[in-house]
């Protein structure tokens, strides 16, 4: 069983919280290194295991997207109840969930890694129909340049969950103008999962006037477990330190 991660924080940064979100069909394993880095730096961290994840793809196929959001929003609210300042961070679909939380709550800033808002597979737009005739498709996990690294994602991708993901994307895109917090985006130059249209929509529609994009030259989609992970960890921590008085 893949577990969630929570750290109370310590030292001068203990009142700064970071809610961290893994991606679609993935697990907290993909964000463990980042979360532990932030916890070791003194931040309070809460990284939940999203509903339908960490068990079986069949479970995910029965889980509405609102439950993914509910779990991540709860992690944010838990931190908001004990910290002066709270940031959100997410990978892939976790990026969409982080953006949605930022649209609805007063986050101090957002750190995203290859955030997903669109699909590279053209069949995704028909997932609402395809789910009735096709239960699953090949996995999308482990797009990692480093050899022999696994994010412990599902071996299959449930089509019904892709339909739910499309609804989450649609809802989040509509809310992007409400996102006004400083935003740091790490974007792999080679990503086999999330297309560049996700970045185009994010930059075009986000309400924030402070958006920084950092290119990752040596990592694929799951960059938090790839060659550029140290850069993500250190630059995001610096970003959180700089913006913790943003509110």
Q: 147-188, pLDDT tens digit by residue?
A: 989 888 888 888 888 889 999 999 999 999 999 999 999 999
Taking alpha carbons only, the member of 206, 127, 216, 224 closest to residue 166 is 127
SS3 87: strand
For residue 81, how many C-alpha atoms fall within 13 Å in the half-sphere facing its CB?
7
pLDDT at residue 134, as a whole number: 59
Catalytic residue among 30, 35, 92, 198: 92
Query: Could you confirm whether 191 is annotated as catalytic?
Result: yes
The two three-digit tokens of residue 139, written as one number: 């996995």
Catalytic residue among 22, 53, 163, 221: 221
- Please compute the mean of the pLDDT values over residues 24-28 and round it to a whole number: 92
**How far is Cα 38 from Cα 238, in angstroms, rounded to an integer?**
10
Q: 191-235, pLDDT tens digit by residue?
A: 999 999 999 999 999 999 999 999 999 999 999 999 999 999 999
Taking alpha carbons only, the member of 83, 88, 81, 92 closest to residue 107 is 88
Query: Could you confirm whether 132 is annotated as catalytic?
Result: no
Q: 35-61, pLDDT tens digit by residue?
A: 999 999 999 999 999 999 999 989 998
CA angle (119, 123, 128) in 5-degree steps = 100
Tokens 């931040």: give the residue. Answer: 43
SS3 150: coil
pLDDT at residue 136, as a whole number: 65
pLDDT at residue 135, as a whole number: 60
Give the residue extent of every domain in the chain: 5-243
What number does CATH give the domain 5-243?
3.40.50.1820
Model confidence at 129, pLDDT cuts 50, 70, 90, reads: very low
Query: Could you confirm whether 221 is annotated as catalytic?
Result: yes
Burial class (CB within 10 angstroms; exposed 0-12, middle 13-18, buried 19+) of 88? buried
Taking alpha carbons only, the member of 169, 155, 24, 154 closest to residue 90 is 24
Higher per-residue confidence, 129 vs 240: 240
pLDDT at residue 7, as a whole number: 81
* Diameter of the chain measured on Cα atoms: 55
Catalytic residue among 30, 166, 188, 191: 191
SS3 content of the chain, % helix, strand, coil (to 5): 45, 15, 40
């Amino acid at each position: 069983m893949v577990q969630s991660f929570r750290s109370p924080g310590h030292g001068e940064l203990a009142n700064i919280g970071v809610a961290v979100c893994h991606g679609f069909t993935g697990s907290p394993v993909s964000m463990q290194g980042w979360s532990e880095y932030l916890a070791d730096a003194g931040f309070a961290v809460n990284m939940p295991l999203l509903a339908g994840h960490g068990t079986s793809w069949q479970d995910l196929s029965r889980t509405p997207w609102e439950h993914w959001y509910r779990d991540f929003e709860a992690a944010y609210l838990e931190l908001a109840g004990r910290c002066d300042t709270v940031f959100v961070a997410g990978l892939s679909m976790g990026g969409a969930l982080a953006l949605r939380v930022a649209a609805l709550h007063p986050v101090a800033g957002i750190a995203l890694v290859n955030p997903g808002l669109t699909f590279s597979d053209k069949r995704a737009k028909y997932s609402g129909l395809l789910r009735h005739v096709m239960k699953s498709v090949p996995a999308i996990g482990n797009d990692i340049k480093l050899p022999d690294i696994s994010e412990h994602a599902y071996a299959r991708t449930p089509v019904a969950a892709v339909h739910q993901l499309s609804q989450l994307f649609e809802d989040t895109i509509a809310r992007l103008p409400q996102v006004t917090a400083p935003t740091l985006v790490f974007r792999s130059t080679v990503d086999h999962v999330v297309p560049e249209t996700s970045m185009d929509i994010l930059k075009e529609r986000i309400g924030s006037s402070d958006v920084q994009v950092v290119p990752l030259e040596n990592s694929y989609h799951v960059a938090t477990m790839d060659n550029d992970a140290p850069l993500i960890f250190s630059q995001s921590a610096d970003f959180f330190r700089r913006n913790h008085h943003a509110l």
